[in-house]
Chain A
Amino acid sequence: MSATDAPVQSSPTRPAKPPVSWKLLAGGALFVLISWWAGSGRFGVGFSAPELLSGFERGQRILEDLLNPRWQAWRGLIGPFIETLRIAVLAALIGCSAAFGMALLTSRVSAPGLRSFLAGKAVLNVVRSIPDLLYAMVFVAVFSIGPLAGIVALILFNIGVVGKLTSETIDGIDTGPLEAAQAAGASHTQVIRTSVVPSVLPNYVAYSLYAFELNLRASLVVGFVGAGGIGQVLFVALNGFRYDVVSLIVICIFVIVFLVESVSIALRRRLV
C-alpha cells in the first residue's frame, strides 16, 4: 500500500474480502476424504508405493516374457485382425446411421413431440450407460460365441456415443432457418431435412469417424469375451500363459490403433 496516495475526500470504503465459498471448501474436503478412502489398503484399492513395488517384483518373470514378443507368430494374426476390421466397419455403418435418427429424436430442436422426446432421451441415456464390453458379454450369451455378438454389441455402443454427440450438436444450431421453413408452410420432416441436416452434417460425419475409431479399439478386445476378432486370440494366449504371444498381439493392436487414429484425426480436422 503506497503511503503517497493522497487521500480523496469522498473515498469509498473498501469492501470486505469475500469469504472463501464454504461450498468449495466442503467440496475440497469431501474430495480428499473420498480419495483417501478409495486409495487405502483396507477399504480401497491399496494404492501405495510398497504395494506397487512388491507387485512388480512378483511379476518379474512375466515381465521378461512380455519383453520378448514372439515375432514369428504374426501370420496367424492376420485373419483375426481382418475379422476385427469387419466388426468395426459393419457396426459403424449400421450404428451411426441409426444414431442419426436417434439424435433427431432426442434433441429439443428436432423432436417431433414431447412424449417421443422424453422416451427417446430415456432410452438413449440407458443405451449410453452400458460399456461396450458389457454389451459384448450379453450378446455372446444371446448369439453365442462369434463376430455377430460383437457387431450387434458395437452397434448399440455406437448409437449411444454418436447419438448423444449429434443430439447435442443439433441442440446448438441456429434455429432461424427452421423458423423460416415453418413460415413457408413446410412439414416437420421437411423442416428437418432442409434446415437441420445441412447444419449438422459435417459434425455428424466427424463424430462417426470418431465412433469408427472407438469401434476399432473396442472390436480389438470384444473377442476377449468371445465376440470375435483378435481379442479371442488374446484370450487363448493369456490362458495358456503364452506371454510372448500376448506381447506380440499387444504390439500389433498398438500399431493399428495408432495408425487409424492418426488418419482419423487428420480427416476430422478437414471436416469441421
Chain B
Amino acid sequence: MTIPQTPTHTPPRVRTTTASATRPERPRRYGPLGLALTLLAAGLWAAWTSGIDLAAVLRGPQAFVRILALMFLPPDASAIPGALSGMVESLQIAWIGTIIGALISLPLGLLAAKNVGGRISPTVSRQVLNLLRSLPELVLAILFVSMIGLGPLAGTLAIGLGSIGTLGKLTAEVVEGIDRGPIEASEAVGGGRFQVLRWGVLPQAMPEIIAFWLYRFEINVRASAILGLVGAGGIGGMLANFLSYRRYGSAGTAILIVIATTIAIDIASSRIRRRIITGKSATKHSLEPLAQVVTP
C-alpha cells in the first residue's frame, strides 16, 4: 500500500506564536484551610481540657518499655496451655457468632438493597441495620452476660448480633452494585421472586458477600478475644486477670498468642478472599467457586 502524503491540516483554532490567552486569576479556596483550622482547634481544646499531666506523658515511654520487658522478656511459658484453650474458645465464639451474623444479615441485606428489596423495605431495613450497628460489642456482651449469665454463649450472641448490622449494610451495597442484566434475564424467563434471587442476584453477589463474611470473621476474632473481659468467655477474662494481678509474664504470653492467632487468621482469610474474588477467571464477579455448586 502507499503511504499518503500528509495534507496540510488546518488546526481548528487560529494559532499565533505570541501569548494570546490571558492568564486566569488564582482561585481562592477556603475549604481546606478552614478544615485544618477546625481540626487544630478541636485538638487543642481536647488536649487542654483533658487535664492530662504532661509529666505523666513524658514518663510514659519509660514505663512502657519496662512493662514490655516484663511481658515479653521472657513471657511466662507456663501460661501457654491455659491461654491456648482460652484462645480456642474465643475462636469458637467468633466462628459461631460470625455464622449467626452472616445468616441473619443475608436476608436483611437483600431486603435493604434498593434494587431487590422493593419499595418500602429498603428504607426500613436500612434503619434497622443502622440501629444494630450502633452498639459496641462490649456493651452487647455486657447485656447478654447480664441476661443469660457468664460464659461463651453470651459472647457468641454478642458477636452474632454485633455483626448483623455491618454485614447487612455491606451485603446491601454489594447487591445494589450488581449488573441489572441477569436479573432482567431471570425475570424475562418468568422467574418468581426467589428464582430471580437465586439465579439473577446471588451468583453475582455471593463472592463479594462471602468475602465480607470472612473479613468480619477476622474482626470478630479480635473482638471475641476481648469479650472475656466481661465474663463472656475466651481469653479476654484471663488477660484482664493477669494484668490486674500484675502477672505481666503470663499477660505477655496471652498477648503473643492473640497476636499470632489474629495474624494467622488474617493471612488465611485474605488468601481465601482473594481466591474467591478473583477466582479462576479474571472477571470481576467470579462465578467459579459458587457456580460448581449452584449448577445442577
Contacts and interface: CB of A to CB of B under 8 A. Distances in A.
Contacts of A21: 289, 292
Nearest to A238: B142
B259 A129 contact: yes
Contacts of A44: 89, 92, 96, 152
B148 interface: yes
- Chain A interface, DSSP helix/strand/loop, else mixed: helix
Most buried by A among B45, B89, B134: B134
B234 to A, nearest CB: 9
Interface residues of B, number: 67
A152 B60 contact: yes
Interface in B190-215: none
Nearest to A65: B146
Nearest to B260: A129
Q: Chain A, interface size: which category? A: 35 or more
A95 to B, nearest CB: 12
B263 A142 contact: no
Nearest to B131: A258
Contacts, number: 187
Interface stretch (B106-114, B116-124, B174-182, B218-226): B218-226
A255 B42 CA distance: 22
Given A142-B60, A142-B67, A261 B49 contact: no
A142 B63 contact: yes
Given A86-B49, A126-B263, A46 B95 contact: no
A7 interface: no
Contacts of B233: 45
Given A59-B147, A138-B243, A142-B64, A133 B289 contact: no
Interface of B: 39, 42-43, 45-47, 49-50, 52-53, 56-57, 60, 63-64, 67, 89, 91-93, 95-96, 99, 130-131, 133-136, 138-139, 142-143, 146-149, 151-157, 222-223, 225-226, 229-230, 233, 236, 239-240, 243, 246, 248, 251, 255, 258-259, 262-263, 266, 289, 292-293
10 contacts: A45-B96, A45-B152, A55-B148, A66-B143, A90-B43, A137-B243, A218-B136, A257-B136, A261-B130, A261-B134
Given A46-B152, A90-B43, A151-B52, 5 more contacts: A129-B259, A131-B226, A138-B255, A257-B134, A258-B134
The 6 closest A-B pairs by CB, nearest first: A55-B148, A59-B147, A38-B92, A129-B262, A45-B152, A257-B134
